[in-house]
């Protein structure tokens, strides 16, 4: 059934919200259960479509899972058997690639159809395969990806780019390799750190967590463990943007301040300055919402990059927030060449901006947005369209909301708790 959101804009959001668990930590941790010789309990798991899709893939291999609490999941991969992964399931989510490392390490072979995911530009897999080859795998690429290894041996690996999922695949494979692996130029986003701590709880030796060099002492037997998933800093950034564009008053409970440094810097540049008190963040109403120019009055720039730089997944949120701030700013999306293509939808809602090229957009604000009919092209742009609709005057309809559901748990219900006028509708529009 075709679902859509009907959104009434112009209402300040008020109240308290707790961020969901980090989806980008939950997905590799679900994959990592393939390495354990017993059940794993995963705590603070977001109930989103991408997690459910990865669990379906594990079920296809013979794993069992049970939700024992609203966000607590037990996964038992003890009886998994290797087989070609279901191509339809793989095509529905990018995270299917995360099964390559653990299946290869456990069984010595994996046949993986190409993964799906957001259409935000080319998302190369070379770094994954180069890392696994360094550990001893033979990789053959055709209609499927065929990976084989008689045994994985620890070595020194320098990733050709600090890819998050390639780092995670290498981490999981190295955790069951013989000997020591030194992983250099590794990604170290909060979700990568959560996975590393989870592998340590399972019995792997992992040092250097929180840095770009990880040292892994492999073990041929990893045990079931309790794996804790941290708060989603991308969702926290989204709620900061929601408060800012609606002139709201939102308290976000249960944050990790160390995950928010670059995010806070960017919002500060837009004149949005939340207060953090231990693990509690408060976005107060009447934010300045004035772009801070560079010295000499020059147009400032917001740009993303690998951690600890501003996360690429918040670029779309920054663009919409900037439309409601006084001044001009250049947003430079370095990592994905199609991420900014959603901005034409913002122009249709009244935003003043110019897409310079696939990677750069100039935003001039503030703009009075008005309601309209839009569609969600990917997870993050979908959330950005929700921000725009809630900031706009009048009513908006957002289609293809399954994309938003892939990354944000019960987002419509949680927004209603903050006072948002949002309904989830089924079927064709009248």
Active-site annotation, residues:
118
CA atoms within 13 A on the CB side of 342: 28
Contact indicator for 42, 59 with CB cutoff of 8 Å = no
Count Cβ atoms within 10 A of the Cβ of residue 13 and give its class: 0-12 exposed, 13-18 middle, 19 or more buried: buried
Query: How many CB atoms are closer than 10 A to CB 223?
Result: 14
Count Cβ atoms within 10 A of the Cβ of residue 86 and give its class: 0-12 exposed, 13-18 middle, 19 or more buried: middle
Query: How many CB atoms are closer than 10 A to CB 256?
Result: 14
Cis, bond preceding 46 (omega within 30 deg of 0) = no
For 426, the token pair is 């089924």
Beta strands in 241-359, from DSSP E residues, in sequence order? 249-253, 275-277, 280-283, 301-303, 327-332, 353-357
For 199, the token pair is 């592998």
3-state SS, residue 354: strand
Cis, bond preceding 308 (omega within 30 deg of 0) = yes
Please state, in angstroms and rounded to a whole number, the distance separating the CA atoms of residues 417 and 395. Answer: 19
Q: How far is CA 63 from the centre of its chain?
A: 24
DSSP string of 130-183, one letter each residue: HHHHHTT-EEEESSSEEEE-S--B--EEE-SS--HHHHHHHHHHHHTSBSEEEE
For 106, the token pair is 């456990």
> Any bridge partners for residue 355, and if so which?
361
Please state, in angstroms and rounded to a whole number, the distance separating the CA atoms of residues 357 and 341. Answer: 9
3-state SS, residue 59: helix
CA Rg value for the chain: 22
> Any bridge partners for residue 111, and if so which?
146
């Amino acid at each position: 059934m075709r679902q859509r959101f009907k959104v009434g804009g112009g209402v300040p959001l008020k109240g308290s919200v707790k961020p969901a668990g980090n989806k980008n930590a939950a997905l590799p941790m679900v994959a990592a259960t393939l390495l354990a010789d017993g059940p794993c309990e995963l705590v603070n798991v977001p109930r989103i479509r991408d997690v459910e899709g990865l669990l379906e893939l594990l079920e296809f291999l013979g794993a069992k899972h049970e939700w024992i609490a609203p966000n607590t999941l037990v996964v038992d991969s003890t009886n998994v058997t290797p087989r070609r992964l279901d191509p339809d399931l793989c095509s529905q989510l990018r995270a299917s690639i995360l099964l390559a490392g653990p299946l290869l390490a456990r069984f010595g072979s994996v046949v993986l159809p190409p993964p799906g995911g957001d259409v935000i530009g080319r998302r190369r897999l070379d770094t994954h395969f180069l890392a696994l080859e360094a550990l001893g795998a033979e990789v053959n690429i055709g209609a499927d990806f065929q990976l084989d290894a008689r045994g994985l041996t620890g070595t020194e690996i320098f990733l050709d780019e600090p890819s998050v999922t390639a780092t995670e695949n290498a981490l999981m494979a190295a955790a069951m390799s013989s000997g020591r692996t030194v992983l250099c130029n590794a990604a170290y986003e909060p979700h990568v750190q959560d996975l590393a701590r989870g592998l340590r709880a399972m019995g792997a030796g992992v040092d250097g967590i929180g840095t770009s060099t990880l040292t892994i002492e492999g073990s041929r037997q990893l045990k079931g463990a309790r794996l804790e998933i941290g708060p989603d800093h991308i969702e926290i950034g989204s709620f900061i943007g929601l408060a800012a564009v609606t002139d709201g008053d939102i308290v976000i409970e249960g944050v990790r301040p160390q995950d928010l440094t670059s995010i806070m810097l960017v919002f500060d540049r837009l004149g949005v300055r939340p207060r953090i008190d231990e693990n509690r963040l408060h976005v107060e109403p009447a934010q300045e919402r004035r772009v801070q120019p560079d010295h000499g009055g020059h147009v400032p720039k917001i740009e993303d990059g690998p951690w600890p730089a501003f996360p690429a997944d918040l670029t779309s949120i920054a663009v919409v927030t900037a439309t409601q701030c006084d001044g001009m700013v250049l947003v430079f999306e370095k990592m994905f060449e199609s991420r900014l293509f959603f901005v034409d939808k913002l122009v249709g809602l009244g935003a003043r901006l110019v897409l310079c090229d696939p990677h750069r957009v100039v935003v001039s604000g503030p703009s009075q947005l008005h309601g309209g009919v839009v569609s969600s092209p990917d997870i993050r742009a979908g959330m950005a369209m929700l921000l725009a609709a809630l900031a706009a005057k009048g009513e908006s309809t957002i289609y293809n909301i399954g994309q938003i559901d892939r990354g944000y748990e019960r987002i419509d219900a949680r927004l209603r708790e903050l006072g948002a006028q949002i309904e989830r509708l089924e079927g064709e529009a009248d």
